[in-house]
Amino acid sequence: MTLTVDIERTLGSFRLKTAFSAGKGVTALFGRSGAGKTSVVNAIAGILRPDRGRIDINGEVVFDDERGIDVPTPKRRIGYVFQEGRLFPHLSVRQNLGYAGLFSRGMPASEFGHVVELLGLRDLLERRPGNLSGGEKQRVAIGRALLSSPRLLLLDEPLASLDAYRKDEVLQYIELIRDEIRIPVVYVSHAVEEVVRLADTVVLLSAGNVAAVGPAEEIMGRPDLRASTGAFEGGAVIEATVVEQDVQDDLATLQFDGGTLTVPNVDALIGEPVRVRIRARDVSIALERPQRISIQNVLRGRIAALGPGSSGIVDVSIAIGATTLRSRITARAIRQLGLVVGLEVYALVKSVSLDRHGTGAA
Partner 1 sequence: MSLTAEELEILQLSLRVSLWSVLLSLPFAVAVAYSLARANFPGKTLFDAAVHLPLVLPPVVVGYFLLLLFGRRGPIGALLDDWFGVVVMFKWTGAALAAGVMGFPLMVRAVRLSFEAIDRKLEAAASTLGAGPLAVFATVTLPLALPGIFTGMLLSFARGLGEFGATITFVSNIPGETRTLPLAIYTYTQVPGGDESALRLSLLAVALSLAALFVSEVMVRRATRRIMGDDSDGRH
Q: Which residues here bind partner 1, judged by CB under 8 A?
A: 45, 47, 72-80, 82, 84, 86, 88-90, 99-100, 102-105, 126-131, 144-145, 148
Cβ 18 to partner 1 shortest distance, Å? 20
C-beta of 142 vs 192, nearer to partner 1: 142
- 202 phi and psi angles, rounded to 5 deg: -115, 130
- Neighbouring C-beta atoms of residue 206, cutoff 10 Å: 17
C-beta of 132 vs 251, nearer to partner 1: 132
Q: For residue 261, give the nearest of 342, 323, 191 by alpha carbon.
A: 323
Cβ 148 to partner 1 shortest distance, Å? 5
Cβ 34 to partner 1 shortest distance, Å? 19
What is the maximum alpha-carbon separation in the chain? 71
C-beta of 78 vs 276, nearer to partner 1: 78
CA dihedral angle for residue 346, residue 349, residue 350, residue 353, rounded to 10 degrees: 170
Q: For residue 275, give the nearest of 211, 323, 317 by alpha carbon.
A: 323
C-beta of 14 vs 88, nearer to partner 1: 88
C-beta of 140 vs 283, nearer to partner 1: 140
C-beta of 91 vs 251, nearer to partner 1: 91
C-beta of 81 vs 316, nearer to partner 1: 81
C-beta of 20 vs 82, nearer to partner 1: 82
SS3 state of residue 174? helix
Name residue 306's beta-bridge partners. 316
Cβ 138 to partner 1 shortest distance, Å? 13
* Length, in residues, of the chain: 362
Bond prior to 308 in cis (omega within 30° of 0): yes
HSE at residue 108, side-chain half, CA atoms within 13 A, is 2
Handedness of CA 209, 150, 171, 219 (dihedral sign): negative
How remote is the C-alpha of 25 from its chain's centroid?
11
Q: How far apart are CA 226 and CA 71, in angstroms?
A: 38
Q: How far apart are CA 109 and CA 94, in angstroms?
A: 12
